[in-house]
Structure 1
Amino acid sequence: MAERVVDVVGTATAAAHLKERLYATITMISVVIGLAGTGHPDAAGAAATVATAAAGLWLAAFVADQQAHRVTHGALARGRDLRTMLFVSSPLLLSAVGPLLLIGVSELGAMELKTALYTAAGVNVATLFAWGCYGGVRMGGGTALALLAGVIDAAIGTAVAVVKAAAGH
């Protein structure tokens, strides 16, 4: 799949898109751990926080990209540049989908909200592991390097969660 994206948008754009996806994943771990660590969040409040965090991240990235484009090119991004900018920043919005689905599942009574939030964090850590493994495979170092890269990426995501939980936010 990654090769197909690269063929369509180019290597630099695909790398920037993936960077935003990884950044959004790590950030969303912090958001859901922070929510799980609060007193008694309700599903509506948790959903609003997750959606607002994702929208705020996306808007900040979009404003920064647009400003950088104006400074560099002397004009607002339009056409292909604007589409590229929106494609690159889209994972910041998409990072809310998994947690919102799990919050919805908790609202249906299938699990406690806190469990849904911790599950969302766990899924995001597993996602970091998978991307790390895939990166290790792409580097050509074999299974051991792929697993090491996955473990390192998952450890970074876990460290973010631990710091967030320890800070009590």
Structure 2
Amino acid sequence: MAEDAQAGLPPEAEAGALADRLKERIYATITMIAVVVGLSESDAGPTGAAATVLTTSLALWLATVVADQEAHRTVHRRRATGRELRRMLYVSSPLLSCAVGPAVMIALAALGALSLDTALLIAAVVGIVPLFLWGCVGGLSMGAGTVGALLAGVVDAVIGVAVAPVKNAAGH
């Protein structure tokens, strides 16, 4: 929440901004899982894989910022500036940071520390773990208890994994 205050968001917007930011993080995580799974089925080398991961992340972020700004202009009849713009950028920033893990793993493959296939597999698994953890935290915060939280985590991880091939099949 301190980050929201630093972003210049009013206190009443903090929970909403955090929820929106987490939503973007989850979407970005699922998208990156799909990207690395798709790359593992391609002939891309480390350079091509890194370019794909980074451009996907940048394109997602730019599309989100453009869509947010267009929606704001349409609804409010003016561009978002100041606090509104800072909130948009704060909420959408996970779309950029989601590329860090896969990019690091691909860089390790480029340096010869591991194969690209292994790097991409690790990147996919590293993406699945937070989905599980967010599901657990969500379950606990709703009072589901330990078993319910673990079940929620498993369901969220399975959904994230299941969405990846669907996104790849659809060309996303």
Give the TM-score normalised by the residue count of structure 1. 0.90
1:44 to 12, 29, 47: 47
Please state how far the C-alpha of 1:146 moved relative to its aligned partner: 0.6
Query: Any gaps of 5 or more consecutive residues in structure 2?
Result: 6-10
Distance 1:168 1:18 in 2: 24
List 4+ stretches of structure 1 deviating above 2 A.
3-9, 160-165
Is 2:83 aligned against 1:80?
A: yes
* 1:65 aligned residue: 68
In the other structure, the counterpart of 1:31 is 35
Query: Aligned partners of 2:162 and 2:72: how far apart in 1?
Result: 34
Question: For residues 1-169 of structure 1, what are the structure 2 equivalents within 5 Å?
Answer: 10-38=14-42, 40-163=43-166, 167=169
1:77 counterpart SS class: coil
| Counterpart for residue 8 of structure 2 | none
How far the C-alpha of 1:11 sits from its partner, in A, is 1.1
Work out whether residues 43 and 103 of structure 1, in 8 Å CA contact, stay in contact via their aligned partners in 2.
yes
SS at match of 2:154: helix
Structure 2 SS opposite 1:10: helix
| One-letter code aligned to 1:27 | T
2:136 and 2:152 in contact (8 A); partners too:
yes
Quick one: distance in 2 between partners of 1:75 and 1:135?
36
**Alpha-carbon offset, residue 140 of structure 1:** 1.4
Unaligned segments of structure 1, at least 5 residues: none
Amino acid at match of 1:31: V
Q: TM-score under structure 2 normalisation?
A: 0.89
How many correspondences in the alignment? Answer: 165
* Contact persistence 2:31–2:164 (CA under 8 A): no
* 1:141–1:5 Cα change, 3 Å: farther
Indicate conservation of the 8 Å contact 1:33/1:164, yes or no.
no
Please tell me the root mean square deviation across aligned C-alpha atoms, in Å: 1.9
Return closer, same or farther for 1:142/1:5 CA change in 2, 3 Å cut-off.
Answer: farther
Offset of residue 160 of structure 1:
2.3
